[in-house]
């Protein structure tokens, strides 16, 4: 790999870290994700506006939400992050009343960048764990 490739990969990692470190807050998504951005999230595909709306609702429900990136790997135009998020459920989220409990969930995101902007993401989140913490499914003891 040439020096230019290394430089682009470093810049791409910095861009992704800015978004991840800010917890995907809508104003950061707007700044660092392209207008034609698309995220593949489970079986859903969201454009930038829908992602900003969704993340706004998560930040509203978990006002102290923070993300920690445990691993970041870049190759070519892609950056992979393995992360964990943590926050307190203080406001309603998708019809679920606040529990005042700590919510923690983790995931892996593959981001594709072009011209310094994130243009596409593939994200896998532990959705069952996430849903259980919001009371959508009962947690069964093992």
Instruction: Name the residue ranges covered by the structural domains of the chain.
Output: 3-133
What pLDDT is attached to residue 141? Answer: 47
- Which phi and psi angles does 80 have, rounded to 5°? -110, 130
Residues 6+ apart with CB under 8 A from 93: 57, 58, 60, 61, 62, 134
Cα gap 117→128, rounded to integer Å: 31
- Which phi and psi angles does 24 have, rounded to 5°? 60, 35
The CATH class that applies to domain 3-133 reads alpha beta
pLDDT in single tens digits along all 142 residues of the chain:
444 467 999 999 999 999 999 999 999 999 999 999 999 988 899 999 999 999 999 999 999 999 999 999 999 999 999 999 999 999 998 888 898 999 999 999 999 999 999 999 999 998 767 767 766 555 554 4
Residue among 132, 30, 121 nearest 79 (CA)? 121
Residues 6+ apart with CB under 8 A from 91: 60, 61, 63, 98
């Amino acid at each position: 790999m040439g020096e230019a490739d290394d430089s682009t990969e470093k810049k791409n990692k910095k861009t992704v870290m800015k978004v991840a470190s800010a917890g995907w807050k809508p104003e950061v998504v707007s700044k660092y994700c392209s207008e034609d951005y698309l995220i593949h999230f489970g079986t859903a595909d969201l454009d930038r506006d829908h992602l900003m709306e969704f993340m706004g609702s998560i930040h509203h429900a978990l006002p102290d939400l923070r993300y920690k990136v445990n691993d970041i790997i870049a190759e070519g135009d892609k950056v992979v992050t393995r992360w964990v998020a943590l926050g307190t459920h203080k406001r309603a989220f998708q019809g679920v009343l606040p529990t005042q409990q700590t919510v923690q969930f983790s995931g892996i995101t593959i981001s594709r960048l072009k011209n310094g902007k994130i243009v596409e993401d593939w994200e896998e989140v532990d959705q069952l764990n996430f849903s259980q913490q919001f009371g959508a499914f009962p947690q069964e003891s093992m």
